Amino acid sequence: MLENGGHRTAPRATGLDLLLLSFQTLGIIYSDIGTSPLYVLNGIWSPTGPIPPAEDVIGGVSAILWSLTIIPLIKYVFICLRFGTREGEGGTFALFQGLFPPKDRDPGYDRTLTGDSVIAGSKFSSSAKLPSRFRWPLLVWCLLGTSLTLADGIFTPAVSVTSAVSGIAVALPAASSRVVPISIAFLVALFLSQPFGTSRLASVFAPVTCVWFLLLGATGIVNILSYPGIFRAFDPSRAILLFVRTGEYDLLAGVLLAVTGCEALFANLGQFNMFSIQLSFTFFVYPSLCLAYLGQGARLIADRDAVISNLFYKTIPGPSQGALFWILYVFAILATLIASQAMISATSSLVQQMINMKSLPPIRMVHTSERLQGRIYIPAVNWLLMIATVVVVAAFGSSTALTNAYGFAVATVMFSTTVLIAIQMRFVKRWPVFIAVLYFVVYGFFDGLFWGAAIEKIPHGAWVPLMIGIVLMATILFWTWAKGLEDDFDAANLKTLRHFLTSESGGKLYLRNDTPLPAPMPSDEVVENGGGTDTDRSEEGEESTELADLPQRELARIPTFAIFHKLTGGRGVPHSFIGFVRQWPAVPDVVVFLSVRVLPTARTDPSDRYVVDKVRTVEGFYGVTYYLGFREDFGVKVEEIVDHICALERRIDPRNSAARITKVKRAVATSTHIVPHYYVMSQPVASGKLSRVINWIRGWLIEDLYRPLSTMFPETENWTGPADEIIRVGVNAFI
First to last CA, the chain: 39
- Based on the domain organization, do 461 and 521 belong to the same domain? no
Does any domain span residue 10? no
- Based on the domain organization, do 58 and 96 belong to the same domain? yes
Q: What percent of the chain has pLDDT over 70?
A: 82
- Based on the domain organization, do 409 and 514 belong to the same domain? no
- Based on the domain organization, do 473 and 525 belong to the same domain? no
Number of H helices, E strands in the chain: 27, 10
Average pLDDT, the chain: 80
384 touches 413 (CB < 8 A): no
Does any domain span residue 356? yes
Does any domain span residue 118? no
Does any domain span residue 122? no
- Based on the domain organization, do 666 and 592 belong to the same domain? yes
pLDDT (tens digit, 9 = 90+) per residue, 32-86?
889 899 989 988 998 888 899 999 999 999 999 999 999 999 999 999 888 876 5
Least confident residue range of 58-67, 421-430, 630-639, 704-713? 630-639
Q: Which of 445, 480, 515 is the last residue of a domain?
A: 480
pLDDT interval class at 600 (50, 70, 90): low
Q: Which amino acid type is present at position 268?
A: N
- CA–CA distance from 399 to each of 156, 241, 370, 461, 665 (Å)? 11, 29, 38, 12, 62
Q: What is the three-class DSSP state of 357?
A: coil
- Domain hosting 320: range is 18-105+127-480
- pLDDT, greater one: 356 or 278: 278
Compute the average pLDDT of residues 573-583. Answer: 79
Backbone angles phi, psi at 611, to 5 degrees: -125, 130
Compute the average pLDDT of residues 670-680. Answer: 83
- pLDDT, greater one: 716 or 494: 494
The confidence score (pLDDT) of residue 521 equals 46
The confidence score (pLDDT) of residue 197 equals 64
- Based on the domain organization, do 463 and 497 belong to the same domain? no
pLDDT interval class at 225 (50, 70, 90): very high
pLDDT (tens digit, 9 = 90+) per residue, 615-631?
877 888 898 888 887 66
Q: CA 135, 352, 364, 722: dihedral to nearest 10 degrees?
A: -90
Q: Is the per-residue pLDDT at 221 higher than 90?
A: yes
DSSP letter for 653, please: -
What is the rounded CA–CA span in Å between residue 153 and residue 89? 21
Q: Is the per-residue pLDDT at 150 higher than 60?
A: yes
- How much helix, strand and coil, in percent to the nearest 5, is found in the chain? 60, 10, 30
Q: Which of 429, 455, 480 is the last residue of a domain?
A: 480
- pLDDT, greater one: 133 or 526: 133
- pLDDT, greater one: 373 or 585: 585
Does any domain span residue 262? yes
pLDDT interval class at 524 (50, 70, 90): very low
Of 255, 238, 311, 239, give the one whose Cα is nearest residue 49. Answer: 311
DSSP letter for 282, please: I
- pLDDT, greater one: 287 or 554: 287
What is the rounded CA–CA span in Å between residue 164 and residue 39? 9
Least confident residue range of 21-25, 100-104, 223-227, 377-381? 100-104
pLDDT (tens digit, 9 = 90+) per residue, 327-360?
999 999 999 888 888 788 778 777 877 887 788 8
Q: What is the three-class DSSP state of 573?
A: strand
The confidence score (pLDDT) of residue 718 equals 64
Most confident of 228-242, 532-546, 690-704: 228-242
Tell me, what CATH number does 452's domain have?
1.20.1740.10
The confidence score (pLDDT) of residue 723 equals 65
pLDDT interval class at 449 (50, 70, 90): very high
- Based on the domain organization, do 457 and 498 belong to the same domain? no
- Based on the domain organization, do 456 and 506 belong to the same domain? no
Q: Is the per-residue pLDDT at 529 higher than 60?
A: no
7 touches 599 (CB < 8 A): yes
What is the rounded CA–CA span in Å between residue 68 and residue 53? 23
- Based on the domain organization, do 476 and 498 belong to the same domain? no
Overall domain count for the chain: 2
The confidence score (pLDDT) of residue 271 equals 67
Angle 613-618-623 (CA atoms, 0-180°, nearest 5)? Answer: 25
H or E segment to which residue 373 belongs: none
What is the rounded CA–CA span in Å between residue 735 and residue 489? 6
Q: Which of 424, 459, 480 is the last residue of a domain?
A: 480
- Based on the domain organization, do 460 and 497 belong to the same domain? no
The confidence score (pLDDT) of residue 551 equals 53
- Based on the domain organization, do 473 and 505 belong to the same domain? no
Chain centroid to Cα 453, Å, comes to 28
pLDDT interval class at 602 (50, 70, 90): low
Q: Is the per-residue pLDDT at 531 higher than 60?
A: no
pLDDT (tens digit, 9 = 90+) per residue, 165-193?
888 877 777 777 788 899 899 999 988 88
Least confident residue range of 190-194, 526-530, 603-607, 722-726? 526-530
Of 314, 315, 309, 321, give the one whose Cα is nearest residue 227. Answer: 315
Least confident residue range of 152-166, 364-378, 559-573, 627-641? 364-378
Compute the average pLDDT of residues 122-146. Answer: 70
The confidence score (pLDDT) of residue 546 equals 39
The confidence score (pLDDT) of residue 372 equals 46
Q: Is the per-residue pLDDT at 548 higher than 60?
A: no
- CA–CA distance from 80 to each of 299, 439, 649 (Å)? 35, 11, 47
Angle 269-406-194 (CA atoms, 0-180°, nearest 5)? Answer: 60
Q: What percent of the chain has pLDDT over 90?
A: 23
Does any domain span residue 1? no
- Based on the domain organization, do 307 and 444 belong to the same domain? yes
Of 40, 44, 56, 65, give the one whose Cα is nearest residue 301. Answer: 56
Q: Is the per-residue pLDDT at 121 higher than 70?
A: no
Compute the average pLDDT of residues 136-142. Answer: 85
The confidence score (pLDDT) of residue 375 equals 58
Q: Which residue stretches of 428-574 are H helix?
A: 433-455, 463-492
pLDDT interval class at 104 (50, 70, 90): low
pLDDT interval class at 539 (50, 70, 90): very low
* Residue-by-residue DSSP string for 476-499: HHHHHHHHHHHHHHHHHT-B-GGG
